[in-house]
Structure 1
Amino acid sequence: MNICFSISEVNWSLTKDVISIFGTIAVVLIGIYGLSTWKKQLRGTSEYELAKKILVKSHQVAQAIQAVRSPMLFLNKEEVDAGNRLKEEQRIYDERLKNLSSEWAELATLKLEAKIIWSSPAEQAFGDLESLVRKIRSEIWLHFWLKGAYKSGGATVDNNPERVAANDAIVYLISDDDDFSQKIYAAVTKIELYFQCKVRST
C-alpha cells in the first residue's frame, strides 16, 4: 500500500513538472508573439509618423520657396533714402533664403530617415524639389548680379532684356499658375505620390 502511494506521488509530481514546462513554453511563445506584434505596431506607427512629417514639411518648403519669390518688399525707408535700396533688397532676400534653408534642412533630415527605412527610391522622390531649392538660390544671386550688386571696378554686367526677363520669371511670383510655381507643385506631388501610400497602409 505504501509502495503504490509512492508511485502515485511520483506520477503526480512528474505530471506537475510536465504541465509546468508546457506552461512555461506557452508563456514564452505568447511573450515572443506579443513582442513581435508590438515591434510591428511600433514600426508601423513610426513609419506613419515619418511619412506624415515628410508630407507636411514638403509643403512648408514649397511655401518657403514661394515666400522668397514674393514681389512684396517692405523696405526700410531710411535705408532707401540713404541710397541703400539695393542692399536693403538683398537683406530682405537673405532673410527669406535663410528661412528656406531652415525648412529645407528639416526636410533633408527626414529624407535621410526615409532613405534608411525605404532605401533609395524614397530619397529619389525629393530630387525635383531639391533642384528647385538650389535653382531659386542661384537665381536670386543672378538677380542681384544683373542689378550690379557684385560688380567690381571696370567690370560689365550682361543684363540683356531676355536674360533679365528669364530671371524675373523665376524670382518673382506672378501667380500659382506661372511656370516656376507649377514646377514647385509638381515636385511636391511627386513626394506625395510616394509617401501618401505609406500613410494609408499603416
Structure 2
Amino acid sequence: MDVWISPVKDIVVALAAIIGSGVALIGLSTWRRQLEGTAEYELARRLLKEVYQFREALQSVRFPFIAVKEMELSDDEGPAPVNDKDRRHRELAKAYQNRYDRVYDARNALEATLLEVEVLWGAELVEKVRKLYSWDAELYAAIMEHLDTVISDAPNGGRNLADRQRTREIINSRGNRKEDKFLSGLQGDIQEIERNLKPHLKRRV
C-alpha cells in the first residue's frame, strides 16, 4: 500500500501547486486592474479639479469690482504718476497683474499634470485641455485693450462703442451665467473635457 501513497501524494502536491498558481495569477490580474483603475481615477479627478481651478482663476480676474487695496501703489514701484490718467492706468494694471498670479499658478499646475495625461491617454486629451488657454489669451488681450483706452488721449481711447462693449463683456463677469458669453464658451470646452474623463472616473473592481 505504501507503494501507492507516494505517487498519489506527488500528484496531489502537483495539483495543489497548479491550482495555487492559477489562483495567484487571477489575484495578480485583479490587483493590476484595480491598481490601473485607481491610478486613472486619481489622475482624472486631479485633472478635472485643476481645470475647474483654472476656470475659477479666470473668473477671479473678471470679477467686476476692484477694491482700492488691490490698486494701491507702493513707493518702490517707480516714479510717481504724472497725471490722473497715468495713475488710473497703473492702478488698474497692478490690480489685474495681482489677479493674474492665480491664473499663472493654475496653468503651471495643469501643465505638470498634462505630462501624466499624455503618458496614459495620449496627446488628444492634452490638446483639449490646452484649448482652454485660448480663453486666457482672449481675456488678457481684452485687459490690455482696456488699459490702452484708459491711458489714451483720444476720445473713448480711439475705439468705437461696439469694440468697447465687447471688451467690457470679456473682462467683466456677469451675474447671469447664460448672458455671459465668455463663461459659456469656456464652460462648453470644459464639458468636452468632462465627457472624455467620465469613463476614468469610475473605479475598476
TM-score range, shorter chain: 0.7 to 0.9
- Asked if the contact 2:58–2:136 (Cα under 8 Å) also holds between the matched residues in 1, the reply is yes
Asked whether 1:142 is paired with 2:145, we answer yes
1:32-62 CA distance string (max 9 Å, x none): 2101101101111221222222222222211
Give the distance between the partners of 2:5 and 2:143, measured in 1 at CA: 87
| TM-score with structure 1 setting the length | 0.78
The AA in structure 2 aligned to 1:121 is: E
Asked whether 1:70 is paired with 2:69, we answer no
The AA in structure 2 aligned to 1:172 is: N
The AA in structure 2 aligned to 1:58 is: V
Moved segments of 4+, more than 6 Å: none
- Asked if the contact 2:142–2:167 (Cα under 8 Å) also holds between the matched residues in 1, the reply is yes
Identical amino acids, percent of aligned pairs: 24
Asked whether 1:107 is paired with 2:110, we answer yes
Q: Which residue of 2 aligns with 1:172?
A: 172
Match of 1:193 among 187, 192, 195: 195
- Asked if the contact 1:50–1:114 (Cα under 8 Å) also holds between the matched residues in 2, the reply is yes
| TM-score with structure 2 setting the length | 0.77
Cα RMSD (Å)? 2.8
Give the distance between the partners of 1:159 and 1:12, measured in 2 at CA: 104
Q: Which residue of 2 aligns with 1:159?
A: 158
Match of 1:35 among 28, 41, 48: 28
- Asked if the contact 1:75–1:89 (Cα under 8 Å) also holds between the matched residues in 2, the reply is no
Give the distance between the partners of 1:23 and 1:47, measured in 2 at CA: 36
Q: Which residue of 2 aligns with 1:98?
A: 101
Match of 1:52 among 45, 50, 59: 45
Q: Which moved more, 1:52-61 or 1:67-76?
A: 52-61
Per-residue deviation, 1:129: 1.6
Asked whether 1:181 is paired with 2:180, we answer no
Q: Secondary structure at the match of 1:108?
A: helix
Extract unaligned runs of 5+ from structure 2: 75-79, 82-86
Going from structure 1 to structure 2, the CA distance change for 1:24 and 1:201 (only over 3 Å counts) comes to: closer
Q: Secondary structure at the match of 1:137?
A: helix
Q: Which residue of 2 aligns with 1:4?
A: none
* Bigger-Rg structure (1/2): 1
Aligned length: 188
